[in-house]
Structure 1
Amino acid sequence: MWNPSQYLRYADHRHRPFVELIARVDLDAPRRIVDLGCGPGNSTRLLADRWPDAALDALDSSAEMVAAARRTGLAAEQGDVRDWTPTEDTDLVVSNALLQWVPEHRELLGAWARALPRGAVIAVQMPGNFGAPSHRALREVAESAGWSDRLPAGLLRHDDAVDDPADYAALLTEHGCAVDAWETTYVQQLSGPDPVLEWMRGTALTPVFDVLDDDGRREFEAELAERLRREYPARADGTTFFPFRRVFCVATVGSGLAG
């Protein structure tokens, strides 16, 4: 279960990649915009503000996130991105920090590129930090004695969850898109006790929390926190630097050499 309040604890850090993604979308008047993985809706509001005349659809698999988005006034719906297909008037598809959870997202991107009208835009951002110390520590704890028999195999994502920007550029170019792909590593300055653990509570730890009871969660967090303190020591001013890599891709359908 996703916790919107926990997710929004670092709303500014989570919001910034969305802003930079949308800044690269060159559309004047899209007819319909779809936000896949809308979360609590705080970023989706930017789409409504920039293109107020467009029809706006918002989708998320989490009932808790959909409820939070609806409280902001969005007509969000619960659903699985793998079941979504574009309508003929869909001119912009946005997916922010969602597709890393979907192993078959490469096939979905290709399917969307084939189904969307010419000139439509696919704008995607995904965390690309699965090889970072934070995620390595998470996997090491989950696979250690005492936890490997309590957590299902394959529960956590590995380095291959997200490709490099060039891989997405190649994929979507093959489907006739003009592609703008890049990556950015944000050096996030976090504060408070165990801030990296606090960050991970909002996202990466969700699959673990779904399996363990309250006592198990506390035990798991205590073991993970010890490792994270070593990997991300607090600075003299009490803050912690947490480098976070993200992968971006903006593709315009039917505008590439293969289109």
Structure 2
Amino acid sequence: MFGLKKRRRGPPAGSGLLCSGAPAQPPASWEEIVCGYGASVDPAEARAQAGNAAEAAFFAQDDRLATKWHHYLEIYDRHLSRYRGKPVRLLELGVFQGGSLQMWRRYLGPQAVIHGLDINPGCREITEDGLKVHLGSQADPGLLRRIAEEMGGIDVVIDDAGHISAEQIASFEVLYPLLAPDGVYIVEDVHASYWPDHGGGLRAHGAFMEYAKLLLDRLHARYVLDPDPFARDPGFADVTHGIAFHDSMVVFEKRLKPLPRSLRVGHRTLS
């Protein structure tokens, strides 16, 4: 792994910032949380009010079942709109009922190469033209490499599979190095990083969210003064444009970039 180390628990930085008070008792289970946010929707009305192309593509889905948190759709469009109408190669980990693959086809257009991976043998029923589903585990490195080779490379990964931290990390460590130099890697539902039965917990060692936080340090490796050579290794930073944290989602943007440069323009200075 990318230098995953154990952290001590303690009050987080900024712990007094914008506090409004939380219930004395936490939710009884993650099921209680997820069910509490469920909502029905009129697809036709939602499509008419769509604020972006991803919302329009999602609410136009009338065949196979698809489920997404509503705020994900804006995030998708923000990071993936540049691929629309182009021969982008997208791999979705976690196919569920196949509706999201159809949504991606509608959103990205006919030139997109769209593959999915799922452990459910029932996904063999998904045989639509232009969509290919592979069966197996997202934590199988050999399978992931074979899929990437078959696709001729990957531009976009959407990890919506089992939400188990160890498996999310395993997939990322295989696929991120294989991603196109300007690719996008999205890990969904990282709220599961805070649930023990998904391999997580608040600031828990091994949780995907903790792993992603450590990658923020890797992104800034060139500025580290620590004597540890690994902490100063710029390999990850040299191919990563940025990491965006959203509610329940982390987005990694790859981009080969030159060394940082401090630029100066103008000539007037304070006396």
Give me the TM-score of the superposition, normalised by structure 2: 0.49
Structure 1, unmatched stretches of 5+, are: 1-6, 140-154, 185-245
Counting only pairs closer than 5 Å after superposition, residues 107-256 of structure 1 correspond to structure 2 as 107-131=170-194, 135=195, 156-159=198-201, 160=204, 161-164=207-210, 166-170=213-217, 173-174=236-237, 176-184=239-247, 246-255=248-257
Any conservation in 2 of the 1:114–1:175 contact (CA below 8 Å)? no
Aligned-pair CA distance for 1:69: 4.1
- Write the distance in 2 (CA, Å) between the matches of 1:47 and 1:183: 20
Residues matched between the structures, number: 168
Match of residue 52 from structure 2: none
Task: Choose from 54, 59, 63 the match for 2:112.
Answer: 54
Match of residue 68 from structure 2: 14
Match of residue 79 from structure 1: 136
- Write the distance in 2 (CA, Å) between the matches of 1:33 and 1:100: 19
Question: With CA pairs under 8 Å and 6+ residues apart, which has the higher RCO, 1 or 2?
Answer: 1
Structure 2, unmatched stretches of 5+, are: 1-34, 40-64, 220-235, 261-271
Per-residue Cα deviation, 1:104-144 (whole angstroms, up to 9, x for no partner): 5335424323223322222222332454xxx5xxx6xxxxx
- Write the distance in 1 (CA, Å) between the matches of 2:135 and 2:71: 23
Per-residue Cα deviation, 1:141-195 (whole angstroms, up to 9, x for no partner): xxxxxxxxxxxxxx653314321554444457436211241121xxxxxxxxxxx
Evaluate the alpha carbon distance shift between residue 111 and residue 175 of structure 1 in structure 2; reply closer, same or farther with a 3 A threshold: farther
- Write the distance in 2 (CA, Å) between the matches of 1:170 and 1:179: 12
Query: Greater CA radius of gyration, 1 or 2?
Result: 2
> Which residue identity is paired with 1:84?
L
- Supply the RMSD in Å over aligned alpha carbons: 3.6
> Which residue identity is paired with 1:14?
K
Aligned-pair CA distance for 1:32: 2.0
The reply on whether 1:42 has 2:99 as its aligned counterpart is yes
Give me the TM-score of the superposition, normalised by structure 1: 0.51
> Which residue identity is paired with 1:251?
E
- Write the distance in 2 (CA, Å) between the matches of 1:44 and 1:18: 15
Higher normalized strand content (fraction of residues)? 1
Match of residue 217 from structure 1: none
Any conservation in 2 of the 1:110–1:175 contact (CA below 8 Å)? no
- Write the distance in 1 (CA, Å) between the matches of 2:162 and 2:88: 24
Identical amino acids, percent of aligned pairs: 14
